[in-house]
Structure 1
Amino acid sequence: MTGEAGDRRRAPDRRKSKPDEPAAGPPLVLCPHCGSMVPAGEFCGHCGAHLTRGSASRRNAFAAVPSEPVVHLSIVTTLFPHLPHRRGGAFRWALLAGSVVVVILAALHLFAPATIAAVFMLPVLYLLYLYEVEVYESEPWLLIAATMVTGAVLGYAFTALTGGAVSGLQISGDTEGNLLLAGVVIPIVAQTLMLAGPLFLYFYRSALREPLDGLTFGAASALGFTLATTLTAIWPLLTGPLVGTGSPVDWALRLLSAGILIMLINATTTSLVTASAWLHRYDLRRAGRGWEATLLATVVVAVGAQVILGILSVVVSDLVLQVGIRAVAAVALLMYVRLVIHQSLLAEGAAHEIGPDAACPECHRIVPTMLFCPSCGVARAAAKQTRMHSATTK
């Protein structure tokens, strides 16, 4: 009797599932928006619609960072969309610390170091972002050369050629000529040059086909261009005395405007156009896309914003008002970029497929691999693995 009981205890538990039986996955439900059978969850894994709220546009959950609404002011989650939300804190603190350093250096009349800190802040952060997310490890130097380096070279050449003409018109008092050149011609040509590097990748690297690729290339090119134009314009200051003269408040406003606001404006206008261009090639169902993300709309917004700001920079002489106008423009353009990113990520870019279970890079839950995480709703195209995550999983 004792032997039989021992044999029963050693025998496999018949109540447990056999090892070779596949684990049951989540039940399938019909998405009312795209008509696909998808795993049950908060979001449709195919079209990204919010299943529990019945919202296809899901404006309450930004497709790149579902914990934020679409209308939300955030530089990091807008221009660094591949960065997981949990890793964005370091970049936010770096941006804040850099701004504080600029103000402190300006208060100490160290205007040259403050200028260097201001103009290099966003470009350096963007290079760190590209390194961190491991998106373009196969050919990083080509991509950086085609975007940030090309933008910097074009920016230097452009400023060297046009700087003398603008100064001559200002000295001669030709208001109409200055308004036409500095307010209309220069902004349009500058915006075109910022698009040169990304468009090269568009035609010669067709494998990089996702809209977020276009956004990344556009932002990098614009940051390189703005860095070069700013350094070229203020080079006499950098080669002058270490301790300068002038109002620290005025210098702090000028440097924060050049280092953050103008950088953001150029990065957003350029990335708007490039993201839309990549979306035009990527999206398989253009009929379901809003007009805001069309190529025509983004070009009109980008060029229009540059021209309006160019004219106002000539007409408005008050420094505080200029900074306020640029701040409002930067916020509005960031909101528009988020809308374009959101619509781009919701675009159907692949055939309906339910892949194997895997950890979501954003929420880390084990879910079926699909275009969107059924649990948190993040777009897989935006949720990339970072170097820190790779190191911890090895």
Structure 2
Amino acid sequence: MAPDQHVVRPWVVTSVFPRLPCRSRWAFRTGVLALGVLLAVFAFLHWQPPLIGISALGLPLLFGVYLKETDAFEDMSVSSLAAVAFLAAAIGTGWSFTLNAIWSVTYDDVLGTPMTPPEQLINLVLIPIGGVVLMLIPAVAVRIWRPDVREALDGYAIGAVSALFFTAAGTITQQASQFSNGLVAKDFPSDALFATAVVRGVAAPLTAVAIGGLIGATLWFKRRTDPTPARRRYIVTSPVFAITVAALTYIGQNGIDYMWIPYAEIVGLYAAITVVALLVLRIVLHSTVLGEAAPDTTPDQPVLCPQCTHVVPDRAYCVNCGVAAGAASRSSRKARRANRPVPAGSAPEGP
């Protein structure tokens, strides 16, 4: 995916957009940076409605551009992707309304009434686990349909779409009451708005991509049949591992929301959990791409590598940069094999 970057470094662009060719990375880095700048500007101006809108829809829109750039709408069913997004948004909206009803009964933030043990179990453990389960229902439904082709990065895209739209719908639903404050939220302190921008606009969507993506990748992972000594890799390619990481991640984030600590500490804790989630995502994607069944190849034929742009033998891995052939879209692989490079001297001469 990104042979020039170490696996255990949480690079945002190559983690969230793993199939991007090198030539497109700068554009998506610019897009991610633009989202961050917009969030900071709206928080500084106290413009709460656009801050909520960018927080909820910024990364999902950019992820849609990524799907278009990497031929996802050609490799996968457009109707399936649209159904996943719509169903995830509907479930996320319903879940947010349900949470508001649960919180009104089990937790009194105004009076500061301490929670009883059953309320702690519900609010701190069962609610985040329930959110993880609901968030991935659309992706699991697509997987149950048993797609003809199973590649980990396809599953990553479907799981990420499911989690992103679930989170976006929840953010808009929970923050909808703030639109009544008008364009400028004069009564909100600046540190609260900046914390909201980081938590809801950066940490929440990035964590959603990481969690949804790693679960989707493990659900679509198809293990190689040839003997390989790297059996330990299959621990992190198991859906059980991914679901465990997801539950722990959201239990941790949910616990932060109940802490009476300064906004700076809240931002720091959310950022730490997001970084860990991205690291786990990189490790899982690296392991699934290396460990899954290799696409059909013809080693005696040349092909153009989309990452390093060298002409190399058509193998499971590029002999020049080491990137896996499966890291490119199926449409890209098909097009490059249909138009293989030929030596200059062997080109047919014109009349």
- TM-score (norm: length of structure 1): 0.77
| Residue equivalent to 1:175 | 115
Partner Cα distance (1:218, 1:298) in 2: 12
The offset of 1:165, in angstroms, is 1.7
In 1, Cα distance between equivalents of 2:101 and 2:45: 31
For the residues of structure 1 that align with 2:217 and 2:16, how far apart are their CA atoms? Answer: 11
- Segments of 5+ residues of structure 2 without an aligned counterpart are 340-351
Equivalent position of 2:204 in the other structure? 262
Report how many residues are paired. 325
Aligned-partner SS, 1:175: coil
Q: Which moved more, 1:306-315 or 1:359-368?
A: 306-315
Moved more, 91-100 or 300-309: 300-309
Residues 313-359 of structure 1 deviation map (CA, whole Å, 9 limit, x = unaligned): 22344322121111001101111111111111111514775152111
* Aligned residue number for residue 244 of structure 1: 185
Q: Give the C-alpha shift of residue 253 in structure 1.
A: 1.5
Asked if residue 274 in structure 1 is aligned to residue 216 in structure 2, the reply is yes
- Please tell me whether the aligned partners of residues 223 and 267 of structure 1 are also in contact (alpha carbons under 8 angstroms): yes
SS of 1:136 mapped into structure 2 = helix
With over 3 angstroms needed to count, the CA separation of the structure-2 counterparts of 1:251 and 1:376, relative to structure 1, is same
Deviates more, 1:352-361 or 1:263-272: 352-361
Distance 1:312 1:110, change over 3 A: closer
Given candidates 294, 303, 307, the residue that maps to 2:251 is: 307
Question: After the TM superposition, which residues 1-394 of structure 1 pair with which residues of structure 2 at under 5 Å, given as runs?
Answer: 64-137=1-74, 140-171=77-108, 173=113, 175-176=115-116, 177-245=118-186, 246-279=188-221, 281-284=222-225, 288-289=230-231, 290=233, 291-350=235-294, 353-384=298-329
Aligned-pair CA distance for 1:239: 3.8
Q: Which amino acid aligns with 2:285?
A: I
Q: Which 5+ residue runs of structure 1 have no aligned equivalent? A: 1-63
Farther-moved stretch of structure 1 (268-277 vs 226-235):
268-277
2:215/2:239 contact within 8 Å kept = yes
Contact 2:136/2:162 (<8 A) preserved:
yes
Larger Rg: 1
- Structure 1 residues 238 and 140: alpha-carbon distance in aligned structure 2, compared to 1, 3 A threshold: farther
Does the C-alpha gap of structure 1 residues 304 and 258 become closer, same or farther in structure 2, counting only changes over 3 Å?
Answer: same
Distance in 1 (alpha carbons) for counterparts of 2:258 and 2:119: 8
Retained in 2: the 8 A contact 1:226–1:266? yes
Shift of 1:257: 0.8
3-state DSSP of counterpart to 2:325: coil
Matched residue type, 1:358:
V
Percent identity between the two aligned chains: 27
Q: Compute the RMSD of aligned alpha carbons.
A: 2.3
CA 1:258/1:133 → structure 2, altered by over 3 Å: closer, same or farther?
A: same
**CA separation of 1:178 and 1:233: change in aligned 2, threshold 3 A:** farther
